[in-house]
A and B are shown apart, each in its own frame.
Chain A
């Protein structure tokens, strides 16, 4: 049933015109939208699993990266409207990251191609029919006589196996290429253990985690699973918590969440790892000690800039905790010595006895040939060895460095085919586009590791006229004939079922298939753990070389939101600020304050970076978390195609990089750049305000020793010898006597009798929160929050009902800089300052303890926002609803939440639609709402499990336990607004005597 509006609304000019001609009295215009003629369109045949007004959930698998998280797709009337994690899935256990949730904006992306296209002689595109497209493809493949290459970016799956088998049947060559495929680790494992597979790292079991450049909370590995593990071990629990250390040239989000960021020059991480291994090996009498003698701490100290004592202390702390875990890799450590670094870390894990404990082989993680193979393939293309190339689920002309001349090699292939659903850089260079179906429109599966086989099913009619490439291949086989004729399944769905039948068994397959679909796949409880024997190969260190003569090392790092660039066409990801810099919709170059002072630039000034491979102009962001000798730039923007949101937005550091050295991986961190001033300026679209807490106690911390003793934050501050709050002079104290009590008494007055109404409340554990911002994306998705774009962010008109506050601590006087993160949403104050100032009672207190906001009553005075100490009320300045969701993005909107119009104040409602929904269901089922039944969108999404929501009057509710935690405090307590959100103080690995440094109080 669809409500369709006939005749658009009357705009102001038209209204005045009517008034002018007909006279004021005669103007019979419906002021209210409900007066317009609307149509009710029934189904022809009612689908049996859709009930109008009630969501239907389907299990599927996220294909945004190769981690293969399980998802539940919430659909209403046949439209997916929200993605949530599958709680039974071993990888993500019910949670989902921002990128995964934004998969919906890939499905409904307004720039999706409407059907297959062929490039004509003039170089423009002709829309063609699918039969024609497949016939052209098949003819070219058949004519290529085996001079046919395939680049497949999709992960291990039935489809990838089919494509591999099919390609070899037609005599072609296939390579599996994923942009961040951890090649140095595989190559290092080959040397250390004689096997190229990757282990699973058990972050949850580790008591001490040291990362050498691996951004395990962002893009490296399987970020959601790692974040869950990190929160489990590093979150304060049972009086203890793990310790985390990050070694590298830039403070990434992972480093900011570690207890210590050890800043070393790019390329010397391996020395630290080897020195640590040397200390541990010699203290344990391990035979490896002898070969490591050259890397004793005092010998590497000068190169790393660390003192020998520091390295020894790092090693001792690592060895003292058992099990511990060291990880290395990722783009941020992919310099020319990346293999040696990973080898060194393998050795470190080995001497510390972590193999089999926290480093678990046997999971057979997703295999991918990676960069080396694709580099070789492009080399062959350049030599004219291929007639036809097919690129699937990959955008190599964007993700490969510009200095490698990959575009020129690609152009030498006479006929190029892409399956991109959105015209990306590679597709634009192709001759034929066979737009693929989105993951939620097709039958497919994904096997991220042994024992985990996630299924995907079509949960929506294709939004665009796409076709799964599996079907294309099967259809083309009929034409090509020969060995390809063996692929005779009528559809890919049939082929997939046939393959699954081998696992599930032919007996009662229909039932087991339905059951598996309902679960989302087959998940073995845990993978077998193997403990490989080290080959004993010696590890040597050579200082990695850098291209160019510039003064600064260029450090490209993968963006949390955009991954390798695939996220750049999704407005949620563009508007959701980078957790560290808080910049939206832009790319930037990070510069240390000292560097900026030296070359005299300020934030937003545009500098020109040049390397031997290219030049680019980027705006400066001054960041104390990057070494003075390094400039860091996020990957992911700087697209020349890829739809209206991505095209022409920002720059990519890939423009400054050269190709690889034939070592099997792309050395991202291998270029030195020089900086030139341009005199231009572009404002940085930052959403953060004051970067320091200035003693306001917004995000409070306490030393582990005090937290373990069960102190409150106040007691902890006092025990550390610091005032908790400024003392008022005697006169003021006299004036304030009894004021607080009177205020509280005042708030009890009202026409709400004591009732059995629930009181909703929330608790946020800051020792678990990593600032990843998955909750923010969930809030956008659930509550129809419009994205406003760069221009409006400049004017501070972003609408994020929920935001992550990031504050810096330290960083001055030689102290280490640290970050504090906290989600801030409406605090639903018991004595809310926004309520009494509203002249129209749009802001009011509900009997169940919410701070209600009645949009249809709001007249937009903005008094409430002015009076809100937390700045969590967002004013809708423009008709964002008209611009934020171009068709078909609007299909994602949640029908349970109204879209707000211009001129009203909006804010977090504690997902009131979910509260009311659960209450209504309970009434229909003649029961009361169960404890823990209502989960807000933010709490649901959080991979760390840092948010708990519930009824504070129900003792069975988990939130009561959280709120009773000794670490609990409320933000800006001095304002006496009595928030419903309790924050549990972040716990630091800091000696109580050193706790003075923190400046939050």
Chain B
């Protein structure tokens, strides 16, 4: 029952995204800045760890203009940004979105196999914080706005394969920002 509801919502979302994409496509031809990226890419030639499925943030976020929070939906309410459940992926990819290039089709097929066999995809972690650091995502989103993800994670909209732009484990990286913005530098804010 609930599964069906989710699928239904997914279908609606696809419709919305698709319309948006069509509209954007029209305008994209006139500009050179937001050049749509759909060409086949060899993930091995890209920076960053290879993932079990070549999930392309550049297509989802860049071309399709999806919001980060659509998938990482707890980033605004919790310390944890959340990894989308397989169901979230299947909401769009169940029937309608099967890929525009052979490469994409092959990758989406992998997703379908994983869903059918009920084995979650084991993504390779790109950004890992040491265990002795507490980074509340929600507070940073609240303070810097929903577009602030790029401050630490870089512009994933341009990344076919996500790689580390900033070493988030380097405390200087955190502190510089805290100095600039005159927010607390008390150790016990993050270390406990």
Residues of A within 8 A of B (CB): 1, 3-4, 32-34, 37-46, 48, 51-54, 844, 846-848, 850, 852, 854-857, 896-899, 909, 912-913, 916, 920, 923-924
Per-position contact with A for B51-84: 1 when CB-CB < 8 Å, else 0?
0000000000000000000000010011110111
Query: Shortest CB–CB separation between residue A855 and chain B, in angstroms?
Result: 6
Contact B77 A42 (CB under 8 A): no
B181 within 8 A of A: no
Chain B residue, CB-CB nearest to A39 = B122
Assess the A51–B130 pair: CB atoms within 8 A.
no
Nearest A residue to B123, CB-CB: A40
Minimal beta-carbon separation of B84 from chain A (angstroms): 6
| Minimal Cβ-Cβ distance residue in B for A46 | B85
**What residue in chain B is nearest A1 (Cβ atoms)?**
B83
Q: How far apart are the CA atoms of A435 and B25 in the complex, in Å?
A: 62
A42 close to B139 (CB less than 8 A): no
Do residues A54 and B78 form an inter-chain contact, with CB atoms below 8 A?
A: yes
Bound-state CA distance A850–B80 (Å) is 26
> Is A39 a contact of B123 with CB atoms below 8 Å?
yes
Which residues of chain A come closer than 8 Å to B129, judged between CB atoms? Answer: 34
Bound Cα distance from A725 to B9, whole angstroms: 74
Most A CB contacts (10 A, CB to CB) among B86, B129, B130, B191 go to B191
Could you show 16 A-B contacts with beta carbons less than 8 Å apart? A3-B125, A3-B128, A4-B122, A40-B123, A45-B3, A52-B80, A52-B82, A54-B79, A846-B187, A852-B186, A852-B188, A855-B132, A856-B130, A899-B131, A909-B188, A916-B189
* Interchain CB contact under 8 A, A41 and B138: no
Chain B interface SS verdict (over half): loop
Contact with A along B157-173 (1 / 0, CB 8 A): 00000000000010000
Which A residues are CB-close (under 8 A) to B138?
920, 924
Contact A855 B77 (CB under 8 A): no
Given A847-B186, A923-B139, does the pair A51, B125 have CB atoms closer than 8 Å?
no
Report the Cα distance A3→B132, complex, angstroms: 14
| Chain A residue at minimal CB-CB distance from B72 | A52
The reply to whether A924 and B139 form a contact with Cβ atoms under 8 Å apart is: yes
Total number of B residues with any Cβ neighbor in A under 8 Å: 42
Kindly supply a per-residue 1/0 record for chain B positions 117-155, scoring 1 wherever the CB is within 8 Å of any chain A CB and 0 otherwise.
Answer: 010111111001111111010110010000000000000
Q: Are A38 and B192 in contact (CB under 8 A)?
A: no
Flag if A846 contacts B169 (CB, 8 Å): no
Question: CA–CA, A496 to B34, complex, Å?
Answer: 61
Separation in Å of the A27 CB from the closest CB of chain B?
Answer: 20
Contact B188 A33 (CB under 8 A): no
Instruction: Check B182 for interface membership: any CB of A closer than 8 A.
Output: no
Q: Is the CB of A41 within 8 A of B139?
A: no
How far, in whole Å, are A311 and B87 apart by their CA atoms in the complex? 76
Given pairs A32-B130, A42-B86, 11 additional interface contacts (CB within 8 A): A1-B83, A3-B125, A34-B128, A40-B83, A42-B83, A48-B2, A51-B78, A52-B80, A52-B83, A54-B78, A916-B134
Select one of A33, A46, A913, A924 contacting B77, CB under 8 A: A924
B-chain residues with CB within 8 Å of residue A844 when the two chains form the complex: 187
Given contacts A45-B3, A899-B131, A924-B142, A850 and B188 within 8 Å (CB-CB)? yes
Chain A residues, CB < 8 A from B112: none
Closest CB pairs A-B (n = 9): A53-B80, A53-B78, A46-B85, A43-B85, A52-B80, A38-B125, A53-B79, A856-B132, A40-B123
Closest chain B residue to A923, Cβ basis: B139
A-side interface mostly: loop
Residues of chain A within 8 A (CB-CB) of B128 are 3, 34, 38
Closest to B3 in A: A45
Measured between beta carbons, the chain B residues less than 8 angstroms from A39 are: 122-125
In the complex where A45-B87, A854-B191 touch, is A898 in contact with B132 (Cβ < 8 A)? Answer: yes
Q: How far is the CB of B118 from chain A (nearest CB, A)?
A: 6
Task: Give B71 Cβ to nearest chain A Cβ, in Å.
Answer: 10
B88 interfacial by beta-carbon distance below 8 Å:
yes
Least CB separation from A3: chain B residue: B125
Bound Cα distance from A689 to B136, whole angstroms: 42
Q: Would B120 and A852 count as touching, CB distance under 8 A?
A: no
Interface string of B81-107 (1 = CB under 8 A from A): 011111110000000000000000000
Contacts of A51 in B (CB 8 A): 74, 77-78, 82
Could you tell me the distance between the alpha carbons of A846 and B192 in the complex, rounded to whole angstroms?
Answer: 12
Residue on B with the closest CB to A844?
A: B187
CB-based contact A37/B124 at 8 Å? yes
Please give, as numbers and ranges, the residues of chain A lying within 8 Å of B186 by CB-CB distance: 846-848, 852
Q: A residues within 8 A CB of B142?
A: 923-924
Instruction: Please list the residues of chain B having a beta carbon within 8 angstroms of any beta carbon in chain A.
Output: 2-3, 49, 74, 77-80, 82-88, 115, 118, 120-125, 128-134, 136, 138-139, 142, 169, 184, 186-189, 191-192
Rounded to whole angstroms, the CA-CA distance of A41 and B115 in the bound complex is 13
Q: Which residue of B lies closest to A847 (CB)?
A: B186
Q: How far is the CA of A44 from the CA of B88 in the complex (A)?
A: 9
| Residue on A nearest B142 in the bound complex, by CB | A924
With A46-B87, A54-B77, A920-B138 known as contacts, the answer to whether A40 contacts B122 (CB < 8 A) is yes
Instruction: Chain A residues near B132: list those with CB within 8 A.
Output: 855-856, 898
Assembly CA distance A312 to B124 (angstroms): 79
CA distance A382 to B88 in the complex (A): 63
Q: How far is the CA of A1 from the CA of B80 in the complex (A)?
A: 9
Is A897 within 8 A of B192, CB to CB?
yes
Closest to B118 in A: A44
Establish whether residues A846 and B188, one from each chain, have CB atoms under 8 Å apart when the complex forms.
Answer: yes
Give every chain A residue within 8 A of B86 (Cβ-Cβ): 42-45
Q: How far apart are the CA atoms of A40 and B121 in the complex, in Å?
A: 8
| Chain A residues whose C-beta falls within 8 Å of the C-beta of B79 in the assembled complex | 53-54, 920
Find out whether the CB atom of B84 lies under 8 angstroms from the CB atom of A42. Answer: yes
Contacting pair B78 A857 (CB below 8 A): no
Across the interface, name the chain A residue whose C-beta is closest to B79.
A53
Which of A53, A856, A897, A920 is the one whose CB lies under 8 Å from B74? A53
Q: Is the Cβ of A916 less than 8 Å from the Cβ of B125?
A: no
List chain B residues, Cβ under 8 A from A912. 188, 192
The answer to whether B188 touches A854, judged by C-beta atoms less than 8 angstroms apart, is yes
CA distance A847 to B87 in the complex (A): 45
A54 contacts which chain B residues (CB < 8 A)? 74, 77-79
| Chain B neighbourhood of A53, CB < 8 A | 74, 78-80, 82
Contact A42 B123 (CB under 8 A): yes
Please report the C-alpha to C-alpha distance between residue A101 and residue B134 in the assembled complex, in whole angstroms.
Answer: 26
- Contacts A44-B86, A856-B132 given; does A52 touch B169 at CB 8 Å: no
Of A44, A857, A896, the contact of B120 (CB 8 Å cutoff): A44
Q: What is the chain B residue whose CB lies nearest that of A842?
A: B187
Bound-state CA distance A40–B53 (Å) is: 13
Contact of A42 among B74, B85, B184 (CB under 8 A): B85
Chain A residues positioned under 8 Å from B130 (CB to CB): 32-34, 856
Chain B contacts of A924 at CB under 8 A?
A: 77, 138-139, 142
Query: Out of B74, B82, B122, B187, which one reaches A41, CB within 8 Å?
Result: B122
CA distance A3 to B80 in the complex (A): 12
Chain B residues whose C-beta falls within 8 Å of the C-beta of A41 in the assembled complex: 83, 120, 122-123
What's the minimum C-beta distance from A582 to chain B, rounded to whole angstroms?
29
Q: A37-B124, A899-B131 are in contact. Are A856 and B83 (CB under 8 A)?
A: no
Question: How far apart sit A45 and B88, CA to CA, in the bound complex (Å)?
Answer: 8
> How distant is the Cα of A913 from the Cα of B190 in the complex, in angstroms?
10
Q: Which residues of A contact B3 (CB under 8 A)?
A: 45
B-side contacts of A913, CB under 8 Å: 134, 192
Q: Do B78 and A52 have beta carbons less than 8 Å apart?
A: yes
Residues of chain B lying within 8 A (CB to CB) of residue A856: 130, 132-133, 191
Complex contacts, B82 vs chain A, CB 8 Å: 1, 51-53
A678 to B85, CA, bound (A): 65
CA distance A52 to B133 in the complex (A): 17
Q: How far is the CA of A34 from the CA of B191 in the complex (A)?
A: 16
Task: Report the nearest B residue to A852, measured CB to CB.
Answer: B188
Nearest-Cβ distance from residue B31 to partner chain A, whole angstroms: 35
A916 and B139 alpha carbons, distance in the complex (Å): 11
A44 to B86, CA, bound (A): 5
Contacts of B133 in A (CB 8 A): 856
A447 to B134 alpha-carbon distance, docked (Å): 42
Instruction: Name which residue of chain B comes closest to A921, CB basis.
Output: B138
A38 CB contacts on chain B under 8 angstroms: 124-125, 128
